[in-house]
Structure 1
């Protein structure tokens, strides 16, 4: 499903692609209407209508050979950004972030924060593809700050060479390996500013991929103590899953991403190269079998001494199958693979709503704090596409007695590598 070998010798002219794939032409027309003709003009200007020879390079899976033609459109600025209000659902937060692309969750990135004895490790939050820090963490981050954590979040993977990357507020479309250098630099600053020796990290979707890349490529096995992945892409997903994410964002923000992905023929290298120019390299590189994903898998799921918590949902329609998110504990590592619905079938949180579910947030907090594990976990009714307070989602009463992670009810596997 991914062009992992061979040479993508030419990005074909638009007319040839549309002639062979009329559905893509319709999708691009829809994309132009939704995102504006200026964005389509920009896409055409930087080479979609011109032959662009891109020889697949040997070596780094994050190089141009992996369809990574994107660059960062601006240097990261982690200081002079406004704080947004706390939201209770993904949809509202996402729409607000598109109107305020630089916004971050309230309370994050306080560089004067001193870690407490109760929470000595700063917490770094890493969002997923076509998202941003505010969208994913507007509810969780302020809660962690109120509980005494020093919390930090960044927008990474800004990309000015794909169509999606030109939309303000949509980050993490840049190549996976290139983005991992941004995450690593951010963590280094957090350690320097706080004086801490370790951080704990929480990653959603591609954020989970970035956690793995940081640990494997940037010395994170020495600077991370606890890893929490929420619906993380740890072993790759189908492009159908990436396409579903695009359709979901279309519904929330009228972006037209899913239209292009839904029309793509993944067996066509030229077309997939073009799709990468539309959705950004990260969307393509996260496919099952991509060079970056394969190298990450070959490096092993875990590292000695690290504590991993993976929170998955059977209703995750993006990182599929959801069981592929779970990790296998290697020597010296502790892994807790948790299915959100175990002990609480009422919570049907999907890929984008787990960080807003009361249950999801508590499981994240237990992943960060071993002393909290075994305490009751809230259970509420959440419909797919919903979340706490999502319009139309029937919210039931909280029933803390339904599941405690310390027992077997909510934990699919809980083990240590030998």
Structure 2
């Protein structure tokens, strides 16, 4: 596992004040300052932004009624007043694409060699660009259903047929069932290929986009596929689009080409997504340690009815990456691990008592930069499968907590699958079953 709101005039003013107070603010998001530390102030009260910056010797990044985040230098961190309301933590390159011994691997169409993160071999299957987006495009019917299945095959990307049948997506996407309409999923990642034809008509208004790395409004997935973690965010967005093709995607860039990002960027992106209409936030990224700024941002999202889905991590060890490790017992949030096509825990997937759900995460195909198609493996791929599932649930009227509960409680138990017995009690409720979840929600 690689994120940026009457009868008397007095009554009107008070209403407006209350509305603004309930929203967060990301202060003129700029490029990541790569400051040494991030400082989280709980309950900042009535202090102005300038007063906070002066008091804590830092630069305000984002602020809500319940917390404020500032970046500070090492010297500034030493000067910060000691208080239980103030937490100073490392900022620079704390977050990363969920990488470990297995890391996120990729296989891409096109000419040339492709670097694979991990020990797998490179399989470049074709020369030149491969464009499946013309004849395989989504056909949205007039009644709001989506026709992407033909003769038992997923026509948009046939390579994913077995992946999607594993979670019963073929049943969910039957005519007149569920497509994810009227929902928005924020992809907080390396950015998204904004020009890929796979996303035509799928993005939110560009006024909701932001690049927290470069400090602009173009969260493009930069670099060359096969170099660094380029394509990671595009893949995550593409997976959500396959599961919930009628959902809108909000691209937010918080990770660089190397797949790492700062705490300040991730926290600000979560607040930004919440204030700009996201219903679901996908975090295919993680940290080795809990971070107050990000935990507070997620709590803020939850307080506005936004679900957050986090990848478990790819080190193959017990215990999850953060923030996913904190999601157990949080009804709007889901931690996600990976299974193989046979429902066995993926060798790279982290596990533990805090894990809540499993989803396919091996060789999942999706759009890649330069109008290409790529296959990735990792819990970073499992998380957007579930994020898309939450969007499906919310599209039929479920709240974030209701949709999350439906996915978790209807999962297929996989404890008896060969190889899984060693992880009893540490694989969550099982492998995602989208059809069962939608049925439990009355659809």
Instruction: State the TM-score, normalizing by the size of structure 2.
Output: 0.33
Structure holding more strand per residue? 2
Instruction: State the TM-score, normalizing by the size of structure 1.
Output: 0.35
Q: Which has the higher contact order (CA 8 A, sep 6+)?
A: 2
